[in-house]
Structure 1
Amino acid sequence: MTVTHPGPEQTSASALAKGLRVLEAVLTNHRLTDICATTGLSYGTVHRILAELVAGGWVVQDADRRYHPGPRQDGMASLRRPTAGGGLDPARRDLTPHLLRLRDATGLTVHLAAVRDGALVYVAKVEAPGSYLLGSYVGLGLELHATAIGKAYLATMAPERAVRLLTQRPVHARTRHTLISRARLLVDLSQIRERGWAFDNGENEEGIRCIGVALRGADGQVCGGVSVSGPDAALERPTIAAHARAVVRAGAAIGSALAASGPDPDGVSD
């Protein structure tokens, strides 16, 4: 009798299938024992897969050791939703040259984010040349109170509305620099409105600074934002103003491109 051993492709596919079964099970089952029962996989296999999914942001574990869909699942799902007329569609290639020019002008990593159901999610990322890597990725949801784009978005609102939006979400300290006081956040938002750009001073990721502006679509509504990010040394006080001007120029150019495209007749951007 000939015994056929699975090749590397079959083994890889089997591992992927198990991972997808666990990922799907977490949507409706939150205890480890229930996930094992639903998937039919062993305790050790499910525990190992969940550890990998948690590390990747696909699943989160709460204080009661229950598992829930993570921010990476939420972010990817949001990319599939229709975009309101005049909004940012991640498939729009006419915006890419603006992102590349901003990267080349500053030497920093560029992010483009879009508004999805009152939240923000990254829809494009252009890496800076160099050795440092940021933990961000397309599909990641942004912390409104701790990121430059998030704060620029909040600053476009009346203070009362910004406060209401912040109270709907947990405002926690991402780093030792994160502004978690409502009073300090409101002062920061007021300063952002005056100067026209937001600054994240290591508030979202330790050692990483960011400058961002909000973007408006063809309908005049805020539809997202654009930013540059880099290590503290690349965004020191002498260089912040110049980089901020570059971000503001890029934001204006992207806004013009969105306005020129006009609202989509079906309510979805190009």
Structure 2
Amino acid sequence: MKYLLWDFDNTLAYREGAWSGTLHSILKRNGIHNINLEDIRPFLNIGFPWHSPEIPHILLFNGTIWWEYMNEYFAEIYEKVGINRDQAINYASQVQNEYKNIEKWHLYDDVIPTLQDAIKNNYKNVILSNHIPDLHEIIDQLNIKKYFDGIYTSGKIGHEKPSLKFYDYVINDLKIEKTKCIMIGDNYNADIAGALHAGIQAILVRKSNDKNYKFYSQDFKQILKIVRQISTIEEGGISTATENAVCGN
């Protein structure tokens, strides 16, 4: 395998407070302290583009661009928690910069050593994320851009994982064979099932393995070991029984 396709959020990095924390921080900064994080969080379970991966952005956004569409969504959330329309629009316009606040973004401690190890072993790292169109700005400020040969975000592609169109776009743009890459991510549906449906092998990381997926590890140090095991399996080198034994970390 030549290319390692990495999910970003909750695989390589995480944002403190995520989206609910972003919206809540803006309220506090504007002197509103009677609305709690728990008041906002339930409204974020639906409405993002990745909640409707079967719908291309061109249809979902109906003539608007990513942040225009999302700002209206955020304004509606602010209204639902009691903010008047004019203030809601104002606060929503602040979400983009607040979400990208680099002080709130953190790499997992095991990420850079793993990326460095992958490069030393002649793998190329590529990011595939359901994310904002300006994801590259976060990656630049985290000082990890040098570890990647490509950064792909659904906010620019116009399709969300697990859509086949998302994966096909990346494969065609990189001009590589699907058999030459492995998807690595924490979301079973988007990263694992989506990749497998696209004909790409995948490794589940970080999250608990509720699906009992065979290529799984919570330990990032095991990822390259599993990558090599997948390569060996595809070459017919070991049995299915051995595969299950060595990959069930």
Scaled by the length of structure 1, the TM-score of the pair is 0.28
Higher Cα radius of gyration: 1
TM-score, normalization by structure 2: 0.29
Higher RCO, 1 vs 2 (CA within 8 Å, ≥6 residues apart): 2
More helix by share: 2
